[in-house]
Structure 1
Amino acid sequence: MSSTISLLSSGARVVVTTHAADGTSIFHSDQVLEPFSPFGPSGSSFTIFDARPSVPVDNLAAPAAADLRKTLPRVPATGVNFCITNIAPRYSVPMHRTLSLDYAIVLAGEIVLALDGGDEKTVRAGEFIVQQGVNHAWHNRTDDVCRIAFVGVGSEKIRLASGEELGETVIKGPGK
């Protein structure tokens, strides 16, 4: 169980590169980022590595501001973000929808991806998800932390044939 708690609360190292004034490739930073745990130590935690307001990105711009790292991951409407989520053992993230195209890889553990239509799939370490703005929930039904890496890309609203638009139904942190 101590390795489970460690993965949930331990920081994640991120190495960022950039360019010197003459165009030479250099390291911008090498640091361990502490996770943000808005739902407490037995819920889920997040570490945002980078977020950009628009695509294509400016590769000379600085990485995400430190204050952004203490928020729930949100993909800017025309941008992109890169983060990890750790989902605690026996913990479920309620049904929600984000306005993004999310590329994900399960790095450790396994997770059940549940859709609002009732379908579920179990995704294990080393497996991938392409999630297209669907209403979904996450269920960790194991005794181990599940760590998932995400690259989210801003997307258009989903417009049904009837003309109805499906909006974002994100989870809010406590007290929000």
Structure 2
Amino acid sequence: MSLPPVRRVITGHADDGLSKFQSDSTVQTQTRPNGTGISFIYSAPALPIDNQDPKDWATEEAQGRNFAGRPDLFDVPGISCRVIDIPPGAESNIHRTQTFDFVVVMEGVVHLKLDSGEERTLHSGDIVLQKGTNHAWTNPHPTEWARLYVVVTNSLPINIGGSTASASDTREV
């Protein structure tokens, strides 16, 4: 069973100052080589967010460009909201991003594995605060998909023992 499409409703203001719906649409999901789907919901190039900015930064991000126009999904100078769908049995590479992430398990079960070898099983409704650590996501279920809602925010560089860890720092565990 696959998951339903992600619906995105955006509100704003009319010229008279009253609230209005700006859009109501289904978000296109991009499929990665391991079958994982990413739906880009909202992005902003800086915090605090400018609610008057009419540009849909998530469209830029969905087209593979960061805020500087380069292809880097993890270079987040502001904030990015994403829905990540993990197919049955799929596992991500272990990776680090130079971000602070709020991760909510919306559907299914996932394993979060750290480079130390520690692992946690997370269920629907569980929340992870990901603080720039090396990690990998796995959907252990043989037939059911898992869905994560992720808010990625800019963070200061990770400093470990006096050295700055690279956002591309990956290793096998």
Per the normalisation by structure 2, the TM-score is 0.86
Q: Measured at CA, do residues 126 and 51 of structure 1 come closer, stay the same or move farther in structure 2, by a change above 3 Å?
A: same
Could you list the per-position Cα deviations for residues 125-160 of structure 1 after superposition, in whole angstroms to 9, with x for gaps in the alignment? Answer: 111111101100011111211100011111011112
Supply the AA of the counterpart residue of 2:152.
G
Quote how far apart the aligned CAs of 1:99 are.
Answer: 0.9
User: CA contact under 8 A between 1:75 and 1:152: conserved in structure 2?
Assistant: no
Quote how far apart the aligned CAs of 1:75 are.
Answer: 4.9
How many residues are treated as equivalent by the alignment? 161
User: CA contact under 8 A between 2:43 and 2:57: conserved in structure 1?
Assistant: yes
Quote how far apart the aligned CAs of 1:170 are.
Answer: 7.5
Alpha-carbon distance in structure 2 between the residues aligned to 1:129 and 1:65: 23
Supply the AA of the counterpart residue of 1:54.
A
User: CA contact under 8 A between 1:103 and 1:150: conserved in structure 2?
Assistant: yes
Confirm whether residue 116 of structure 1 aligns to residue 110 of structure 2. Answer: no
Q: Measured at CA, do residues 113 and 65 of structure 1 come closer, stay the same or move farther in structure 2, by a change above 3 Å?
A: closer
Supply the AA of the counterpart residue of 2:76.
P
In structure 2, the residue matched to 1:150 is: 150
Q: Measured at CA, do residues 59 and 111 of structure 1 come closer, stay the same or move farther in structure 2, by a change above 3 Å?
A: same
User: CA contact under 8 A between 1:47 and 1:69: conserved in structure 2?
Assistant: yes
> Would you identify which runs of 4 or more consecutive aligned residues in structure 1 move more than 6 Å?
none
Quote how far apart the aligned CAs of 1:74 are.
Answer: 2.9
In structure 2, the residue matched to 1:56 is: 48
Alpha-carbon distance in structure 2 between the residues aligned to 1:119 and 1:87: 20
CA RMSD of aligned residues (A): 1.8
* Structure 2 residue ranges without an equivalent (≥5): 65-71
* Structure 1 residue ranges without an equivalent (≥5): 172-176
Q: Is the partner of 1:93 in helix, strand or coil?
A: coil
User: CA contact under 8 A between 1:49 and 1:64: conserved in structure 2?
Assistant: no
Confirm whether residue 86 of structure 1 aligns to residue 79 of structure 2. Answer: no
Supply the AA of the counterpart residue of 1:25.
S
